[in-house]
Amino acid sequence: LHSLLRDPSLLETRAYIGGQFVDGDTTFEVTNPARGDVIATVADVSRAQVAGAIAQAEAAQKDWAKWTGKERANVLRKWYDLMMANQEDLAVILTAEMGKPLTEARGEIAYGASFIEFFAEEAKRIYGETIPGHQRDKRITVLKQPIGVAASITPWNFPNAMITRKAGPALAAGCAFVARPAELTPLSATAIAVLADRAGIPAGVFSVVPSSNASETGLEFCENNAVRKLTFTGSTEVGRILMRQAADTVMKCSMELGGNAPFIVFDDADIDAAVEGAIMCKFRNNGQTCVCANRIYVQAGVYDEFAAKLKAAVEKMNIGDGLDDGIHFGPLINAKAVTKVQDHIADATAKGAKVILGGKPSELGGTFFQPTIVTGATTDMLFSSDETFGPLAPLFKFEDEDEVIALANDTIFGLASYFYAKDLSRVYKVAEELEYGIVGVNTGIISTEVAPFGGVKQSGLGREGSHHGIEDYLEMKYICMSV
């Protein structure tokens, strides 16, 4: 991997604590899912080291909070510039540890960096409020202040952007930040720590604590009184565990949890555009995102046409090592992910669905899997209620609007949803009635730093991105003054 990098010093295997790169008590291995080989041996920090990182963050935060918004903005802007200047190396590291095609990895680095840029700008715009007093001698002022130390736990599917989307607003607000990256993808996190150090982010304000034992680190984050905010992206199951643990310290939580995104194609849709949107939405990152379409509902009149066109388009796409050119599908993250896709296909075919494309592991071996489309999907099949998180597109047939809205909403999740239609009153009605935090209308891509990303129901709490995103890292204080 070193030889593929212009700046090999970005490949950092140590933890970053209190402004120093340090070893852990032990180490753990990181493998490349496309080749199965070990690419790095990374510091495995102990719970005591995590506690140390939190203590250093707590000390550093006090001064960081006193910096003006513009001063914080300036170093964050440098961090952003360094990320973009090193986009290619960061993308290569990301693909090597996670498997997504290099073009997607480059896109993720730009997307991840955009949160640092956006929140650098927002650092100057953390406005309070004055409220007319309730008595003649009273003056009321509302201050927005940083919460304090924020700790994050993030997944492997976006090893860069899931961290920057949290660290950007946290640092802009004046919080210190301790990041625990997923054990499968710590190198993208330590690489941005190298750049944070070069950008001049003060020691202790941003730390990275890789560990193979997620639950130990999670317990330290939740039980340590110095941590005031826990921000998590991952499964609803782990989110529930963390919220239970955080209850004892009444810690503020932001939770970006699982989804089960419906993607609806109405009979008045532009079918070619819907096919294109479905491919981006379903198959990006091999289906391994929490906003990927999981259930594709197609109105009866256009069902066959949509299925045929989707099949024809996906057939042309290439599977392979993400570091090679022209690849659309890398490997799945691990064997467990492959098993889940296979279970969902087996369950569906046993209940009457038909595989019209793929359906099997790829001849490339490893965790490569053929992109798969099944027709005849019904509500009793596993993917109706459970996120596949893989390259499986199930096509459900529906007759009318109210029926499909009810089907789409029939889930405990509420993160992203999508639909394609042209009729204006239909567009308004469906957009308003879908119980989701995000609705893509005639588009399959909804992620941007300028909009509030987040879910309703059991998909989470809080929003990331946009000027709203910084609120998750601020406390309100009101000062009541008698004059």
Q: By C-alpha distance, which of 289, 324, 304 is closest to 162?
A: 289
C-alpha of 379 from chain center: 27
Residue 152 CB, shortest distance to ligand ADP, in Å, is 10
Which CB sits closer to ligand ADP, 215 or 448? 215
Which CB sits closer to ligand ADP, 242 or 393? 242
256 is catalytic: yes
For strands 149-153 and 176-180, give the pairing. parallel
Catalytic residue among 12, 256, 449, 464: 256
Q: How many CB atoms lie within 10 A of CB 438?
A: 22
The answer to whether the CB of 296 falls within 8 A of the CB of 417 is no
Residue 352 CB, shortest distance to ligand ADP, in Å, is 29
End-to-end CA distance of the chain: 66
Tell me the C-alpha distance between 478 and 423, whole Å: 48
Residue 213 CB, shortest distance to ligand ADP, in Å, is 9
Which CB sits closer to ligand ADP, 181 or 437? 181
Structure tokens at 281: 């939405």
Question: Which residue reads 């569906």 in tokens?
Answer: 348
Structure tokens at 182: 């997923």
- DSSP state at residue 86: T
Residue 456 CB, shortest distance to ligand ADP, in Å, is 19
Which CB sits closer to ligand ADP, 151 or 470? 151
The answer to whether the CB of 50 falls within 8 A of the CB of 217 is yes
Which CB sits closer to ligand ADP, 289 or 299? 289
Binding residues vs ligand ADP (CB under 6 A): 153-155, 182-183, 214-215, 218, 234-235, 238, 241-242
For strands 460-461 and 252-256, give the pairing. antiparallel
Question: Identity (one letter) of the amino acid at 190?
Answer: T
The answer to whether the CB of 415 falls within 8 A of the CB of 438 is yes
Residue 45 CB, shortest distance to ligand ADP, in Å, is 13
Q: By C-alpha distance, which of 184, 61, 177, 186 is closest to 116?
A: 177
The answer to whether the CB of 149 falls within 8 A of the CB of 57 is yes
The answer to whether the CB of 100 falls within 8 A of the CB of 322 is yes
Which CB sits closer to ligand ADP, 246 or 395? 246
The answer to whether the CB of 303 falls within 8 A of the CB of 311 is no
Sheet holding 176-180, edge to edge: 20-22, 15-17, 206-208, 176-180, 149-153, 227-233, 252-256, 460-461
Strand, coil or helix: 480: strand
Strand, coil or helix: 95: helix
Which CB sits closer to ligand ADP, 217 or 466? 217
Residue 214 CB, shortest distance to ligand ADP, in Å, is 3
Residue 91 CB, shortest distance to ligand ADP, in Å, is 20
Which CB sits closer to ligand ADP, 101 or 155? 155
Q: By C-alpha distance, which of 15, 5, 291, 13 is closest to 158?
A: 291
Tell me the C-alpha distance between 57 and 206, whole Å: 7
Residue 404 CB, shortest distance to ligand ADP, in Å, is 28
- Measure Cα distances from 6 to 85, 88, 183, 244, 289 in Å: 11, 8, 25, 44, 29
Residues classed as catalytic? 256
